[in-house]
Each structure stands twice: as structure tokens, then as C-alpha cells.
Structure 1
């Protein structure tokens, strides 16, 4: 295989690789950028592996006039900034000791040792600056071509090095594996056997993986496998996978939304009761994400109609609630319901507090406004201010 992608020829990339070569260091592109480039996908981060140790990389960058940030010098990584783009440059490493969360590493000059400390065969591909691909495990190219996800070597060993790899196994399956090919049996069995290790991970790391998983075009098969292995229940006690494939089928051309899909894993709103913590706490969601998730979960169980949902929450959240309700019933939301939600989102309550003053005040004023608002919503937003005041 040969890598042929735009970022390979980008002046910013060429400048970094040229500087490393002229400084006497060997360097290769590695990991996701190679994998995605071979698949014709746009690469996110461009990671570089080198036989030069961090201090030497920093000296090379200084001589070349490239900005260098020691982002992870203790672990062998520095970031070079070229053309306003960051390039993580990491010294080839081998694991000396691991505790399931982080590893003690030693530098090495051998590409094979660096490759065998990585997680999956498709992530252990390297490319020279001319695009020639190197596959130290001898399995990565074939697995990528077959859209097959496998751990490097014994899955138990790879998971023991970092228990987050259990969640990465399902996430990468959703993004890169052939959905018709099934999930790797050895990886699934090891994930099930070692799921207790997930308790060692920080909630931030778990939450980040779950977001990435649920943002995949169709994460339903991977989430179903998580449930089968007992992993989903470890992450979100009480979560169910049954509604997710129905929801995804109803989403149509909508962009994937992790919060909408997360709400589908909790159709009975049981997660906080069974797990002792709300999903937002367990996954360390942001305030905005937690607020949206709560609104979706509450909307699923409320008696509010499409118009009221649109009026109170806006058209996007109302649409998502209708999709979730439809998934629960196995019937997609009717076009009229979606139209009503859009109409409600545009509606403006015609009565103001001042319209009832000075006759009413305090709790009586609030109760009267709430009653009038309910009547107005029930009328399909057709009653005007005069009708409501009368």
C-alpha cells in the first residue's frame, strides 16, 4: 500500500519532516492519519514517530525555526507547530510496566517494538514521508482492507496495559469494521472477561469514548455487542440497547447526535435510580450536554404534545423527543407531528404579566398566566390576547 493524501504534500507537513530528516532523525507518520488516509478519509491529527528523543527533537525544531511545545515530554511527546497546524512527534517506545491506566515506557530504536505496544493492527501502520506504508505487525494492511478490527497479539495483554481499550474496541468497531463481518470473537471475549477493570478509569476518559462511539454513523451493532459482553452495564448500569437501532433507522439524514442516542439507551429513565448517579455525572458531560440529555429524557416520558414540545424546547429538541418516542413505539413520527413542533417553536404567547395588572399580583398572577398559557397551547396557538383575557 502507498499513502496518497493531501496533507502528505502540505507545506506544513513537508517542513516538519524535512527538518527531522536534516537533523539526522528518522521519522514516520503513524496511527490514525495513516489509517484514515488509506481509507480516503480526512485525517484529524497528524502524528509522527521518530527515533530521536524529545530533547533532540526540540533542538532540531529550534534550529529549523519551528515552534515546539513540550506537551508530553516525560512520555516522549513534543508538539511541533507548522503552518498553524500541530504535529505530535513521539519517540519510539516500548512498555516497561503498566497498571491498566498508564504505562512506564523506555525509548527504543525499533519500529517493531513501538508497533507492538499499540492497541489494534489497523492503528499500527506507519508511512514514510514519500507515502510508502510499513506494517510491522504484518497484519494491519490486510485487516484494514478487510475492514476487520483486531487487537495486536493477545487481547488480554493489550487490555491489561490500558482498560480504556475495552471501550476503544467497541468504538473502533463502529467506525472502521465491516458491520456484516461481525465483531472479533477473541476481542469480545477478553472485553467481557476483563470488564471489571473499567472501574479503574476516570469518568472523563469513559465519557469521551462513549461520545465518540455514539457519534459513529451507526453504533447500534457495537453497542449491542457491548451489552452482550456486560460492558454497557458497567459503564451505564440499567442502560438498554434495544431502541438504538430503531432510532438510527428513523434518523434518516440527520447528523449523528450522541446525546439523542444516549437518551435512547435509557427509555425508562432508570439510569440514575439503578446506578446511583445520573448519566451526566457518570460520563462527566458538560453542563450543556447534561441539560440537553435531561430535557430529552423528560420529554420522552412527558405528556406534552408536539406543539408544546416545540414551544417550550425549540424545534430541534422537539424533533429528537418525537424520534425517541417513535423508536419506543416502533413507529416513526408523523410528518404532521413534526410540522406541529415547528409551528410551536415559532409561536409567541400573546399575553404579558402587565396585561393582568393591577388586578392580579404574586402567586395569583403566576397561576393565571400559567392557566392561560395552557389554554393557548391547547388551542393550537390560535387564541389571541383578547380571547384569553376575556
Structure 2
């Protein structure tokens, strides 16, 4: 059944007093102002709106002057590119003057301000992101295809795909990330866009690793990133983003994860490849969490022992990763072992070994704990103390 194209959007994000205050601030001064991009796209798709970006015909200095006159805090977060952040009630709203690209080098652009919304739309990455809405929710579709592409969940570059990519090679990864989150997996990626990404994949290596890492983590957080990752691998893009990674186990992992919150680091551990701590510039905490999973996938520890060694949450990720990579049955009943391990305590204390101290005591406790873990936590205190466990030199 065909449904009429939506001509307007609504929602608390648009109707909020702070949002309407900003619209009124610019409109009453004779300027055009619209919500743009993700908030409009998500409202059409019926998904949550988290950030509100605004675009205007007013120049940055004019926006700044109007905000100050109204007592609204304005932060020049990117004023050289036309962006200010207006802060109302502790929430920031980015507002950017309409722009057109003057010069690009694949990583950043030199822009000039524009009087035409069509020029602003033409510099955006995908048609579904080149949508605007006024204070009343009326949609403006300067390209004439953004609404239809959003409804069809068709991720399509604005204009010529290769031109958009050469402006910023990060758009290659954004193409797959948007496909993972908003695309129709039954239709597959846009053929022209996919071909351009494959042809220009080497440009990814010009990007800062932090930017690559950020995009990859967002992609891996999609409900089901498997179709996008398979397309990335087939096109050669994945090898440039994360050398050595293999996406073949991702679909099975996603199947085993049913009912669980998506975990980008668990999925990254299943992808494998070059150390993402350096290759994707993970934070220290992320690198630790990744290493806990990746380093224990091949271990022989039982579920209960995993929970003791690395925690129940990381242990569950290891069990899922093992099942996907080795094509074994999903954890199922094994998860009861994680619960048992989370509640267990190593039964031997240093006071149980009165004849030892210092490094010798530490080595004996470590050896006994390893024996306990290897027994699936079954050995009792008495059984452990009765073991003949080699010491530091034994």
C-alpha cells in the first residue's frame, strides 16, 4: 500500500519552549531558520531524536548579536565555519549559517556562507540528511528526493557519490554506518554509492584514526551491523578501516545476542584484526574491556571461572564470541555458570599458608587459584591445601 509522503513532523523535540525560543529569535529578526538533518530524518522514520541541529540564513555575527541581546548564552564552537551553540536551560543547540564548499581536501573543507538553502543542502552527505523543518514542523526538501529516500530507507549520496567522498573520505564509513542504522538490508546498499566507496577506499588512510574509530564504534552499535560489515568487507573498505578484520562471524553473533543490548566492543573482538587500541584509538577503558574479551576467547576456562577471572559481563561476551567464531551452540545453560562464578569466592587465604611469605606466598596463592579455576571452582579449601602445587622454582 502506498502512503502519502509526510509533509510535516512533530514531537517534543520541536515543540519544546527552548527550541521554539530559538526559532522565534531568528524569525522575528527577519531571518530564515530550520531544524536540519538527523532530527528531521529521525522524526520521519519514527525513531528517537537526541540532538537538534539548526540552520539559518543569518550570518554568525548576526546570530551572536541576537542571542546576546536576548540574554541567551552563545558559544562560538565553530564560528569560522558558521557554527554557534546556543545554550538554554543547560542544553546546547547548534545553529549553523547556510554554507557552500569552496575548497576540500578529503578531510576538511573551506566554506563560504550562502543565501540559498539549496546550496546548503547540496554540501550535505546523504539525501535523507538534507531535510529541513520550520518551527511548525513543515518539511523543506530542497533536493526533492530526501523524504522519499528516508521513507524507503535508501542511503544515497547527494549528487555524485565520488565527489561527496573526495570532499571528506570519512563519508565512506558514514555510508556504511548509516546503512547499518537506517538502511533496508533487504535492498542492499545503494549500488552507485557502494561502487564509489570501493573505488576510493584508500582515502580512509588519510583520516585520523580517532575519526575512524568513532565511526566504527557507532556502526558496531547498530542493532544488526552484519549486512553493512559484509558489504564493507566485500568492497575492500573494511581492510582499510581495520586491517585483518573478518566479518564472517558477525551475523551469527548478532543472532546469539538476541534480546541483549548491542555491545560494540564485543563485536569488535569478534571482528579481530589489528589492535584497535592503537588502530582505532580506543580509550583506555575501552581498550581494557576489549582486551578482556579478546584475550579469553581461546581460553579453556569454564563459564564460572570466567566470571571469577574477568567478571560476569565480560564473561558473557566471551561465551557469545566463542560461539560465533567457532560455530558452537550459544551459551544457553552455560550462563548459569556465570552466575555461580559471580557469587563465588576463592576459599584459600594467606593465613592458610603460615609457612610462606613474600613472593613465595603470592606465587602459591596464584597457583592454587589457577587450580581452583581449572576445576570449575569445584575444589574445596581442604582439597586445595592438600594439593602439591609447584612453588616459584618448582
| Contact map agreement 1:307 1:342 (CA 8 A) in 2 | yes
Matches within 5 A, 1:286-325: 286-325=283-322
Moved more, 37-46 or 166-175: 37-46
TM-score by length of 1: 0.95
Does the CA-based 8 Å contact 1:312-1:345 persist in structure 2?
A: no
Map of 1:11-26 to 2, 5 A cutoff? 11-26=17-32
Q: Please report the TM-score for the alignment, with normalisation by the length of structure 2.
A: 0.94
Q: State the shift of 1:329 in Å.
A: 2.5
Alignment partner, residue 41 of structure 2: 35
Task: Write the mapping of 1:1-390 to structure 2, written as runs, cut at 5 A.
Answer: 1-266=7-272, 271-272=273-274, 278-357=275-354, 359-390=355-386
- Write out per-residue CA displacement over residues 201-238 of structure 1, whole angstroms, 9 at most, x where no aligned residue: 11111100001000000010000000011010011111
Equivalences, count: 380
How far apart in 2 are the matches of 1:65 and 1:346? 56
CA contact (8 A) 2:14 2:20 kept: yes
Name the CA distance, whole Å, in 1 between partners of 2:301 and 2:147: 53
Q: Does the CA contact (< 8 Å) of 1:323 and 1:332 recur in 2?
A: no
**Alignment CA distance shift 1:309-1:97 (3 Å):** same
Give the match for residue 391 of structure 2. none
List alignment gaps of at least 5 residues for structure 2. 1-6, 387-394
Aligned-residue CA RMSD in angstroms?
1.3
Report the 3-state secondary structure (helix = DSSP H, G, I; strand = E; otherwise coil) of the residue aligned with 1:248: helix
Q: Distance in 2 between matches of 1:166 and 1:188?
A: 9
In the TM superposition, residue 27 of structure 1 has moved relative to its aligned partner by 0.5
- More divergent stretch after superposition (39-48 vs 239-248): 39-48
For 1:104 and 1:379, locate their aligned partners in 2 and report how far apart those are by CA, in whole Å: 64
Shift of residue 336, structure 1, vs aligned partner: 2.9
In 2: Cα distance, 1:95 partner to 1:379 partner? 65
Aligned to 2:392: none
Distance 1:384 1:303, change over 3 A: closer
Contact 1:69 1:78 (C-alpha < 8 Å) held by counterparts: yes
Tell me by how many angstroms 1:140 deviates: 0.4
Deviation by residue 1:347-372 (Cα, 9 ceiling, x = unmatched): 11121223212x11234323321232
